[in-house]
Amino acid sequence: MSKLDNAKQKGIYLLPNLFTTGAMFAGYYSIIAGIQGKFEMACLSIFIAALLDALDGRVARLTNTQSEFGEQYDSLSDLVSFGVAPSLLVFNWSLFHLSAVHPVMGKIGWLAAFIFAVSGALRLARFNTQIGVVDKAYFQGLPSPAAAGLISSFVWICVDLDLVGADLKYITLPLTIVVGLLMVSRFRYYSFKTIPFKENVSFIWILLLVLVFVLLTIKTAWVLFVVFCGYGVSGILFTVHSVKKKRASKKNNKPTEPDESK
C-alpha cells in the first residue's frame, strides 16, 4: 500500500484540528476587525487564537492524536494568526498614516508590516526544520505567538488609553521592525516545555498564579504587555549572559604558558 493510500485510509484527527481551525478563524477575524477599525476586538481575537493554539498541541498529546498533517496545519494557522493578522493590525491602526507624511514613508510603513509577517513565516519554517534537533527547553528566536502578543497588547493599551495610531506612528514603526527581527534572531528563549507540572511545587507558585489571574481581570492589556515585553527582553539577556559565561569559561580553561625565566 502506498503512502498516499495509507494517508487516505487514516484520514485526519478531528479534535486537535478543530482547535487549530478555531485558532485560524480567530486570526482571520482579527484581520476583518482591524480593517473595520475595531482594533480592540482585533487584539482580543489574536489572544484567543494564541489560547487555542496552545491547546491544540496539548490536546493532541493527551489523546495521542499527533500527526504530520496536524503539525503542518498548525504552522499554516500560526502564519495567519501570528504573522499576517498582527502585521495588518499594526498597519491599519498606525503605519498606514505614514503615507500622509510622504509617499516614501508610506512605503516604509507597509514594508515594516511585511517584515513582521515574513519574519513570522521564516520563524515557523525554521522551527519546523529543527524539530527533534535543537534543545526542547529553548526556542531559537522569539516565538511568533509571543511576538504577536507583544504587538497586539501594545495596540490594545493605546486603544484603551484613547491614543490614536496616527500620533504614535514613529514609535510603532521601529517597534514592529524590532519585534519582527527578534523572531528570526538567534536569541534563545525559554520554551516552558520542561516545567515539571506533575511534580510537587511550592505553595507560593499557586498564589502567584492567582495574583496573575486577578491582575488579568483588572488590567488585561497592561498585564499582557508587561509579560510579553519581559519575555522578549529575557531572550536577549539570557543569550548575552550565556555568551559572557562561555567566554569566561574558555579564558579560565586556557593553558598557561611555561615560565622560561626559570
Segment 211-220 mean pLDDT: 83
Q: Which pLDDT score is estimated for 200?
A: 66
Of residues 193 and 162, the one with the higher pLDDT is: 162
In the CATH scheme, what is the code of domain 9-192+202-247?
A: 1.20.120.1760
Q: Which pLDDT score is estimated for 196?
A: 62
Segment 208-225 mean pLDDT: 84
State how far the Cα of 163 lies from the Cα of 158, in Å rounded to an integer: 5
Phi-psi region of 162 (alpha: psi -120 to 50; beta: other; left: phi over 0): left
Q: Which pLDDT score is estimated for 98?
A: 94
Residues 191/138, Cβ–Cβ less than 8 Å:
yes
State how far the Cα of 144 lies from the Cα of 183, in Å rounded to an integer: 7
Question: Which residue matches cell numbers 489571574?
Answer: 213
* Entry pTM: 0.85
State how far the Cα of 219 lies from the Cα of 36, in Å rounded to an integer: 25
Mean pLDDT lowest for which of 43-47, 68-72, 73-77?
68-72
pLDDT in tens, 24-39: 999 999 999 999 999 9
- In this structure, the dihedral spanned by the alpha carbons of residues 242, 243, 246 and 247, taken in order and rounded to 10 degrees, is -150
Segment 246-255 mean pLDDT: 74
State how far the Cα of 171 lies from the Cα of 183, in Å rounded to an integer: 19
Q: Which pLDDT score is estimated for 72?
A: 87
List the chain domain ranges: 9-192+202-247
Segment 139-162 mean pLDDT: 93
Mean pLDDT lowest for which of 44-53, 55-64, 162-171?
55-64
State how far the Cα of 138 lies from the Cα of 57, in Å rounded to an integer: 17
Of residues 5 and 111, the one with the higher pLDDT is: 111
